[in-house]
Amino acid sequence: MSSERGRVGVVGAALVLSAAACAIDSRAVDTRPLQPDVENGGSAGGNAGGSSGVAAAGGRPPGDSMESGLGGSIALVGDGAGNDGAEGAQAPEPEPKGEPDAGDPEAEPGDVTPPSVLSVTPAEGTSQVTSELVSLSFSEPMNRASVEAAFDDAEAFVWTADSSAVTFRLPLPFAATPQLFDIVVPGEVQDQAGNALGASVETSIVLAALVRVTLPFEGALSGNQVAGDDGNFTFFETGDTAAGLIHYGAASFPLDALPALDTIISLRQATLHVQVTEVLGDGGTAAFDGILIDRVSFSARADIDNPTIIEPAFARLFVPPAVSAGRIVRLDIATQLRAVWSAAEARIQLRFGPAASNGDAVSDTVAFRRFDDENDSILDLNVVAEPDPDNVARIEVEYFQ
């Protein structure tokens, strides 16, 4: 309460006090000490007749207010006739507290608009789909975690800087015949404000047929040859001799199981599969800092050491150099197979050999499995018992058609 109002109340109380003094005997005056301030707007005088000393004797100086728990009021003495104060001396009404602040009514509301899917690639109705890459574009920046969780079997997510578009690899169920497949963006994915997409978005596509073919090891045109020799050796092995000569190994794989290249949609993969069956000499140096692989052409085993080299050293095996019996090698040779296939050649031929002898005066040899039932003389004890059709030398091919 303001001090100005406090002064008005005290003056009114003094007028009442003066009138009462003229009407009563001085012995009727309550001479007890002033009572303490009373909260909640109560009177400071404790007797029915009131106390004539409130404004004049002790207590609060003129002009002060007494705050109550409900906003405060001025305490007035009675006049002895049951009146609590002269007209105009009533306590002022407490100021209203008002409603809690609801914020700026002009402030913009938060983002409550759900996102939408602008595009999906591959698009609705696309047929002969061969790529596992899927791209999604949204109307606004997205919560990346919510989108990635919706495609928990996908991998290699790549987002735009503003998080409004993403590309990832989705494993697709390719089969020997075309398959219908739905790419589903679930309604639970959210934008960065937490708004969900709402309804799921489905995109139907048709997957191309995936054909799998195995190109077998051709024993008649595979084997080994020491540089400068003219022998007829059938084991598929490589290394060097104690005299420091290079010992080459070669393998041929016929392509007659493949259709003409121009009749397919695309080559998906071609993987060379070989298994080390034995390592002689120093296993660490036998690799010669890696075994080089050349794409070559030859017509007889005697030419393995001196073939026509078409693509030299396109790959290197066993780096770092340690190599052990039983080790499985899988090498991507799709580029090499495509070149041979497009030229309509009868087979792909690969030659294995170190770039140079390691010079340790020991015959170091690495032998590879040819068939499921390999010759026991080139089988280490650590190699799986025969027959072992899973680890025969071969090229596994996948193409779309």
Contact 398, 210 (CB under 8 A): yes
Mean pLDDT of 94-122: 70
Task: Set out the domains of the chain in order of their start, with CATH numbers.
Answer: 1-95 (no CATH), 117-208 (2.60.40.3710), 214-400 (no CATH)
Structure tokens at 242: 């104690």
Contact 279, 286 (CB under 8 A): yes
pLDDT digits (tens, 9 = 90+) for 121-142: 999 999 999 999 999 999 999 9
**Torsion angle of the four alpha carbons 256, 262, 267, 271, in this order, in degrees rounded to the nearest 10:** 20
Give the other-Cβ count within 10 Å of 358's Cβ: 20
Q: Which of 74-78, 82-86, 131-135, 225-229 has the lowest mean pLDDT?
A: 74-78
In this predicted structure, what is the pLDDT of residue 284? 67
Can you give the three-state secondary structure of 25-93, one letter per residue?
CHHHCCCCCCCCCCCCCCCCCCCCCCCCCCCCCCCCCCCCCECCCCCCECCCCCCCCCCCCCCCCCCCC
Residue 134's SS3 state is strand
**Torsion angle of the four alpha carbons 171, 177, 178, 183, in this order, in degrees rounded to the nearest 10:** -30
Report CA 350 to chain centroid distance, whole Å. Answer: 41
Structure tokens at 93: 């009404």
Distance CA 198, CA 356 (A): 66
DSSP 253-294: EE-TTS--GGGSSEEEEEEEEEEEEEEES-TTTTTTTSEEEE
pLDDT band at 37 (very low <50, low <70, confident <90, very high): very low
pLDDT over threshold 80, residue 6: no
Question: ∠ at Cα 131 (256, 343), nearest 5°?
Answer: 30
pLDDT over threshold 50, residue 40: no
In this predicted structure, what is the pLDDT of residue 315? 97
Cα atoms in the 13 Å half-sphere on the side-chain side of 326: 7
Give the other-Cβ count within 10 Å of 150's Cβ: 18
pLDDT digits (tens, 9 = 90+) for 202-253: 999 999 999 999 999 999 999 999 999 988 999 999 999 999 999 999 999 9
Structure tokens at 345: 């050649």
In this predicted structure, what is the pLDDT of residue 159? 98
Mean pLDDT of 292-317: 97
Give the other-Cβ count within 10 Å of 299's Cβ: 10
Percentage above 70 pLDDT, the chain: 71
pLDDT over threshold 80, residue 306: yes
Contact 393, 369 (CB under 8 A): yes
Please tell me which of 5-9, 58-62, 97-101, 397-401 the model is most confident about, judged by mean pLDDT.
397-401
Instruction: Give the global pTM.
Output: 0.69
In this predicted structure, what is the pLDDT of residue 356? 87
